[in-house]
Structure 1
Amino acid sequence: MKKSKVCILTGITAGALLLTGCRETPDSVIVKQKGEKAIEKYEEEKTDTSSGEASRNIREKLSVPETFSEDITAEDGKIIIHTDAAVEQPDTTGFSTVEVKAVPLTQEFMDTITNGLFPEKKMYEPEYYYGMTKEYYQNKINEVRALMAQDSAESESGEALTQEDLQQMLEEYEAAYAEAPKSLEKKETAPLLTENGTGDPRFSGVAEDENGRPYSYFVKASADEPVSVQVKYLGDTENASDQALWSDYTPASQYVPEELGTEEKIKSAVGISYEEAKKTADEKAASIGISDMSADAWDYAICRDIERSDEVIKTGFVFYYTRKIDGCPVTYTSAIGGGLEDMDSTIEPWTYEHLSIVISKEGLEELSYGSPYELGEVQVENVKLLDFEEIAQIYSQMMQYKLSGELEGGYIKSCKVNVNRVTLGYSRIYSPTQDNRSGVLVPVWDFFGNYERTLNEGEGPADKDTERYNSLLTINAVDGTVIDRGLGY
C-alpha cells in the first residue's frame, strides 16, 4: 500500500533537497560528484586479518553511538533542529555495494502472482462485476430531482450546488442510465497480459479466492514502474466496490475519528493480533515467490469509504517488505522514488522496489508490489564507510542548509524538525540519464522524524507532519553525498 503515487515533480518538501538557487552551497566535502563516476571511486576497506579487525562489528569500526542528541537554532530562531535519536545499525562487520536491475513484466512473472494468490484462477471482467445498474442510476436521478426542488442544495463535501450544476448532473445520470444494464452477470476472462496503446503490457480483472471473496487484480508496466501489481479486496460479492481507500494510521489526521484517536483504541478495534496478521502477510508474500524480503516496518491501517465522506469502515495492519543483503536490510521509507527534477525532463524514472500487504481480521485486504529487483554482481565487497562523526557533521550542516532553503520562498515563517531515529541500511541509487533500469544498492544513513512549519500571515495554517517513516535526510555512508529520496539519486 502506498499513501500516494510517484510525485512526478519534486519540490521543496521535508523529504527533498534542492542544491540550487541563490544560496551559497556549503564549502565542504558534502557536495561531491554523484552518479556512475562517483561510484567508480568506491574503495574496499583494508583490514588486518591477523589482528582480528575484520571481525569487529560495524558499530565499533565506525564509532557509532547508541544515541545521537543535538540541538541547533539558526536564522534568528526561525530554524530549530532537535535531534534525540536511537541509532540503529545491523549486526554486521561491513557492507558491500551490489548491482541491481529492473525485473521486466512477463506473462511468467504474472502467472507466479496469479497462481500464488488465486490458484483457482476465477477471473472476471471488471465492468460486468461491479459496474452500475439501471437501478443505481435511477436512484441517483431521483436524488438530483429532489435537490432541484429545494431552494438550496449542497454536495456531500458541503459545496453549494446551483440549478445549472444539478441540471448537468441530471443529464449525466440520465445518459448513464440509458447505457447501464438491468443487472450484472459475471463474465469470465483469462489472466493474460495484453498491450495497451503505448505497447505496455497489462491486465485488469476481478479475481475470486477459494472462498469467493472478490479482489480487483491489476497488473501493468509503465514508464516509472517496470512492474506494478495491485490487489484489493472489494467487499462482499453482492456489494462489491472499488471505492475504499486504505492508508497508514496517523492519530492527528483529519480522517481518524475520535474513537480511534489513540494507539490503544485502534489496537483494540483491529480485532486481530500483530502476530496473527504478520503470519498471514508472510504467507501471502511466500505464495507469490518472495523469500528474500521481510517486513521490518509496519503500522496500523485504516480504510475509508471515499463515497461516504471518508467514513472509516475497517481497520487492520500494513506490513512493508524490503530485501536483505547478507543480513543488512534495504531501509524502508515512505518515499517511492521515481521523481523528475523538472517538468521538462524526458527521462523515464524508476521507482524503488516495494511490497506492502494490508491484513485485517477478515484476511488479505490489499497487496501492492512494484519495481522488483534482480540482484547482480557485488561491485565492491566490504566497502569503506565514513565514520559516524563525519556523517553527523554532514547531517548538521545539510539539515540547516535544507531548512534555510524552505524559508526563501516567503511562505514559511519558521520550521522545526524533530529527528527521533537514525538508521544505517541499503538504498538503491541510479543514474537515469545513463541507464534507467539498473542501479546500485549502497549503504546510507537515514534520519527519520517529523517537521512543524509555521506559515507567514495569510499563507495558511501551521503544517505538522507525523508520518512514521519519513526520512528527512539521506546521506550516502560511503562518500557523504546527500541522496534525494524522491528522485532516487
Structure 2
Amino acid sequence: MKRFTAILLSIFTLFALTACQPTPEAAVVVQKDTDRMVEQAANMENGQTLSDLSIPEGRYVLDNETAGGRLKIHVDTKVRKPDVDSIPIRKAAITVFTQEQVTGIFNYLFPDEKPINQSYIRETKADIEKQIVLLRQRLEDKSYLNNGQTEDEMLALIAAAEERYKTAPETLPAPAASDGTMTLYEGQATDENGISIAGETSRFYLLSASFDGYTRGISVSTAFSASLRDLESANHKSGVLSYWDNSTPAYTTKGMLRTDGSSLPEAAQGKLTISYDEAKALCDGFFAAARMDGDFGVGAAFIVDDKGTGLVDGRWENGKYIEGLKNPAQNYAWQFYYARMADNIPIMLNTIAGGSTGSEFQISWNYEYICFTVDNNGIASVHWMSPIAVGDVVQENAVLKSFPEIMGVFEKMVRVQYEPMLNTRYPDGNIEINVDDIELCLMRVREPNGDGTTGLLVPAWVFYGHNIATHSTGEQSFDFSGGIAYRWPQAPIVLFAINAIDGSVINFTWGY
C-alpha cells in the first residue's frame, strides 16, 4: 500500500519550476501578445521557412564557462527537427479524461477479473454522529478559535453534518466489482480529529482503489469545476490517470540507462526478457484502447532496475558521500516517456510530473506528462497527467528564426537564467549544464488574455539534458527545477526553451 499512497499524494501535488527570466528584447519575460506573434509567423520578412533554418549537419558542440568558471555550459548533440514541410500553430486547451477513454483503458488493463471498487470518501450515520458531537463540543468550549474559525462557520459545519446525516447509510455497502465507471465523490477536508475544516473542500471524479486482491489499481481524477474557472480550486484542474501493480518490484530511476532498444546491458541480459518492441506495443495498445492510437509517440526510453545499477542507496556523512552495498539488480524494466503528436510533429516531451503551475491568479496548467513502466509481466505502472486538447490551426506555415539566431539567444539567456542561482542557491558552489538533445517541436504557451484554460501550440526549440549543482560541501544535486532537486540524474529535463517564431524565452513555470 505504500506505493499506492505515494501515487495518491502525487495526484494532488504541484511542482514549481524555473523562475521568470529576461528575453533579449525586454528586461523580464512578459506575457506574449499571441495575436501579434501569429501575425509575425505569417510574414516571410520575419524569418525563414522550415527548410531554410541553417540547421547544422552532424553534431552541434558548444563549451562555455561564465561567472569565473562557476557556471559551465556543455552542448554536444545532434539537432533534431520534425520530418514535415511546415509547422503550423494550433490552438490548445485544458481537457480531462472522458468516460469513453477511461472505459477503454480500464478494460485493456483489466481484461478478465474486474477489480473491486473501493470508495475512499464514505461515512455512516455513526461516523457523522461522532463528528457532530465533536463539533458541538468545540462550539461550546470555543476551541474552534484556535483554528481561526468563527462561530458562524462552526454553526454552518454542524448544519452541513446534520444534512449529510439524513442520507448517510447505517452501514457501508459491500465492495462490488468495478466496471470502470467514474463516480463523482464530494468530500470535505478534515483535521486530525476528523472534523471538517471550514472552507477546505474537495470535489473530484475518482475511479480509485480498484484492486484485485489489493494488488493492482487504477485512479482517475478530473476537474471538479464545471466552468474550469474557479481559481480557488485551481490545484485540481488537470486530469490525472495512474495505474499501478504492487506485485512488481519497486523500480528506481537511479542509474537509468537511455536506450533505443537495440541492445541490453550485460547485467540485464537474461533478466529482462520482454523485448523493446513488445513492451512498446503494450503501451501503444493502451492508447488504442482509449481510441487515441496515432496521437502519441515515444519521446525517450530507458532501462530501469530495482536496485539502481546495483547500488543500495548510500549516505552523506560530514559532507562526504558513502557508497552503499553493491548488490546486483534482480529485475529490470523498460520505461517509456511518451509525447503527444500534432500534424506528425511531437509536442515538447515533459519528464517531470508537473511543469507549469501558473501564478496564484491563474488556473493551474501543468505540461502533459506520460510515463509507462513495462517489465516481463506486462505494464507495471502508468502515470498520465494534464492531457490537452489539440484545437484548430490558426497559422498553416509559421515563419521561423534561423538556428544561428536561436543559438545566439541561448548562449546569452542561459547565463541569465542560471547565474543568479549561483548567488541564491549555491553561493559557494558551481553549476554544470549539459545539453544532450536539441529539438524543434511544438510547445504549449498560454493565451494571456484568455480565461487560463486555453493556449497555443507554437514551434519552439527545446534544450533537453541535465544540470548538476555542486555545493561547497561537495554534495551534488541533479536536475533541479525550482525547489525540486534529486540525488541522482533523472530522465533528461527541459533545461531551456525558445520560441522559434520570435526568439523569446518560454518560461517553463508560467507557460508563456
TM-score between both structures, scaled by the size of structure 1:
0.70
1:394 counterpart SS class: helix
Tell me how far apart the structure 2 counterparts of residues 390 and 416 of structure 1 sit (CA, whole Å): 23
* CA-CA distance at 1:227 after TM superposition: 2.0
- Of the three residues 188, 203, 207, the one matched with 2:177 is 188
Q: Which residue of 2 aligns with 1:374?
A: 389
Q: Is the 8 A contact 2:101 2:290 kept in 1?
A: no
After TM superposition, list the pairs within 5 Å mapping 1:12-161 onto structure 2.
Answer: 16-19=18-21, 28=25, 33-37=30-34, 40-45=37-42, 58=50, 60-66=51-57, 67-120=59-112, 122-126=114-118
* SS class of match (2:31): coil
Query: Which position in structure 1 is the counterpart of 2:335?
Result: 318
Find the counterpart in structure 2 of residue 298 from structure 1.
301
Q: Map residues 50-449 of structure 1 onto 2, 5 A cutoff.
A: 58=50, 60-66=51-57, 67-120=59-112, 122-126=114-118, 187-192=176-181, 193-197=183-187, 198-208=202-212, 214-222=215-223, 223-235=235-247, 245-250=250-255, 263-266=265-268, 269-291=271-293, 292-303=295-306, 314-340=331-357, 345-409=360-424, 411-412=426-427, 413-431=429-447, 434-449=450-465
- 1:115 touches 1:121 (CA, 8 Å); kept in 2? no
1:265 Cα deviation (Å)? 2.0
Deviations 1:134-174 (A, max 9, x none): xxxxxxxxxxxxxxxxxxxxxxxxxxxxxxxxxxxxxxxxx
Query: Matches of 2:103 and 2:365 in 1, distance apart?
Result: 23
Query: What do the CA deviations read for 1:26-71 (whole angstroms, capped 9, x no partner)?
Result: 65469664345466544344579xxxxxxx982x411111232222
Deviations 1:270-310 (A, max 9, x none): 232212211222222212222111223211233579xxx98
Paired AA for residue 64 in structure 1:
I
Q: Report the Cα offset of residue 220 of structure 1.
A: 1.1
Q: State how 1:456-475 maps to structure 2 within 5 Å.
A: 456-457=472-473, 461-465=475-479, 466-475=489-498
Structure 1: which amino acid aligns with 2:279? A
CA distance, structure 2, for counterparts of residue 456 and residue 214 of structure 1: 45
Query: Where do 5+ consecutive residues of structure 2 fail to align?
Result: 1-5, 121-173, 188-201, 224-234, 258-263, 314-326, 480-488
Instruction: Give SS of 2:348's match.
Output: coil
274-283 or 407-416: bigger deviation: 407-416
Q: For residues 127 and 383 of structure 1, do their structure 2 counterparts lie closer, same or farther at Cα, with a shift above 3 Å needed? A: closer
Q: 1:268 to 1:330 in 2, by over 3 A?
A: farther
Amino acid at match of 1:196: E
The 3 A distance-change label for structure 1 pair 435 and 270 is farther
**Hey, what does 1:136 align to over in structure 2?**
none
2:206 partner letter: R
In 2 relative to 1, CA 433–26 (structure 1 residues): closer, same or farther, beyond 3 Å?
Answer: closer
Q: 1:451 aligns with which of 457, 467, 490?
A: 467
Report the more deviating stretch, 476-485 or 465-474: 465-474
Tell me the distance in 1 between the aligned counterparts of 2:12 and 2:352.
8
Residue-pair matches, total = 391
Contact kept, 8 Å, 2:11 with 2:240, in 1: the verdict is: no
Q: TM-score, normalised by structure 2?
A: 0.67
Kept in 2: contact 1:214–1:233 (CA 8 A): yes
Provide the C-alpha distance between the structure 1 equivalents of 2:55 and 2:462, rounded to a whole number of angstroms.
14
Which residue pairs with 2:323 in the alignment?
Answer: none
Shift of 1:263: 4.2
Q: CA deviation at 1:452?
A: 2.5
CA contact (8 A) 1:430 1:488 kept: yes
SS in 1 for 2:40: coil
Task: Using the TM superposition, give the Cα deviation of residue 382 of structure 1 relative to its aligned residue in structure 2, in angstroms.
Answer: 0.5
Return the alpha-carbon distance in structure 2 between the equivalents of residues 84 and 96 of structure 1.
28
- CA change 1:273–1:114 in 2 (3 A) is closer
Deviation at 1:269, TM superposition (A): 3.3
Equivalent residue for 1:481?
A: 504
Give 3-state SS (helix, strand or coil) of 1:250's partner. Answer: strand
State the match for 2:150 in structure 1: none
Q: Tell me the equivalent position of 1:10.
A: 16
Counterparts of 1:39 and 1:265 in 2: how far apart (Å)?
54
In structure 1, what is the Cα distance between the partners aligned to 2:300 and 2:284? Answer: 13
Contact kept, 8 Å, 1:358 with 1:365, in 2: the verdict is yes
Report the Cα distance in structure 2 between the residues aligned to 1:304 and 1:224, rounded to whole angstroms.
34
The 3 A distance-change label for structure 1 pair 335 and 488 is farther
Task: Check 1:406–1:84 CA distance in 2 against 1; reply closer, same or farther (3 A cut).
Answer: same
User: Which whole-Å CA distance do the structure 1 matches of 2:53 and 2:63 have between them?
Assistant: 23
> CA 1:187 to 1:314, structure 2 compared with 1: closer, same or farther past 3 Å?
farther
Deviation of 1:264 (Å): 3.7
Change beyond 3 A, Cα 1:121–1:201: farther
